[in-house]
A and B are shown apart, each in its own frame.
Chain A
Amino acid sequence: MKKIVKSSFVAALLLFPGHAWATGDLGCEISDGNVKFDYATLINRGIGLFLGGDVRFETVRPEIPAPLQKLDQAKLQLVHSWYDDKEVRLMLYAEHQDDKVDFASIRLTIVAPMDENSDYAGTYALEVAGPENVVITGKASCLVG
């Protein structure tokens, strides 16, 4: 994924006839001992519009019921997002219930401010609700190109 110099709401001030906002790629990832996560989407950089998105989420944490340990975008859905020249924010949510698991959910929140290299380096919080309630935290990074 190529890096972009900067994409910002200021870009929205440089509107050209014909709505010539460029599209680009936005991707975020987590890779630590608790969570492996990849998110990739096209974005309209002028207005921060997310155009689709692919999700891969995997964890082996025992507090998380098995049906929620390996997910894609069909199950782990983007419910909040924010992208501008200062930061990338994502919140994804999934829930599950069956005869074995009365109810369980995970909520993954990523907040990644832009650094001096125009990368987005931040943190994540994975909130687990269900048979066990736990919050798992760590580092996350995003790139816009």
Chain B
Amino acid sequence: MRRSLLPLLVAVTLPSTAHATGNADCVIDEPGLSFTFEALYSYGGTGELLQNHADIELTDPKRPAGTWTFSLDGSALEQQWIVGDEFRVLLYKEREGADLVLDIRAKRSATEDIAFDGTYKLVIGPSDGSLFSRTGKVACSKG
């Protein structure tokens, strides 16, 4: 599922220079896992993501015990590489006594300039030593 974006140009004043911003997002929509990631990104020299937020709903029957429907704020974004034709983010969250890592890697679509298609890897390590992981497709946009 891909959302169509209308660029939202907002002047954000950084310490010394005003940079315009646009929207970026990633979506996973599969049986057992729904995920959305939204952020502003700077059109200026950095191209970095700002003010990001994510929602995850993991209903996979193999998931660890506990509630896995929750939101992640900006502190969950641990790595980002939004450079050229690549769109990568890595999110990390401690929850229900477990570590959750979501690794998203996408490349620019050949047919749609604002679209990036790729894969995700979700790993959850509960405190009982078991391990849950799943992979699948992800669609991202930057416009």
Contact = CB atoms under 8 A, between A and B. Distances in A.
Interface residues of A, number: 30
B129 to A, nearest CB: 6
A12 interface: yes
Given A80-B83, A91-B83, A97 B92 contact: no
A28 to B, nearest CB: 15
Contacts of B123: 12-13, 15
Which bucket holds chain B's interface residue count? 20 to 34
Interface stretch (A34-42, A53-61, A101-109, A135-143): A101-109
Interface of A: 9, 12-13, 15-19, 21, 46-50, 79-83, 89, 91, 93, 95-97, 103, 105, 107, 109, 129
18 contacts: A12-B123, A13-B131, A13-B133, A15-B131, A16-B125, A17-B128, A19-B94, A47-B78, A47-B99, A48-B78, A49-B79, A49-B92, A50-B79, A79-B48, A80-B47, A82-B80, A95-B17, A109-B83
Interface of B: 16-17, 45-48, 78-83, 88, 90, 92, 94, 99, 101, 103, 121, 123, 125-129, 131, 133
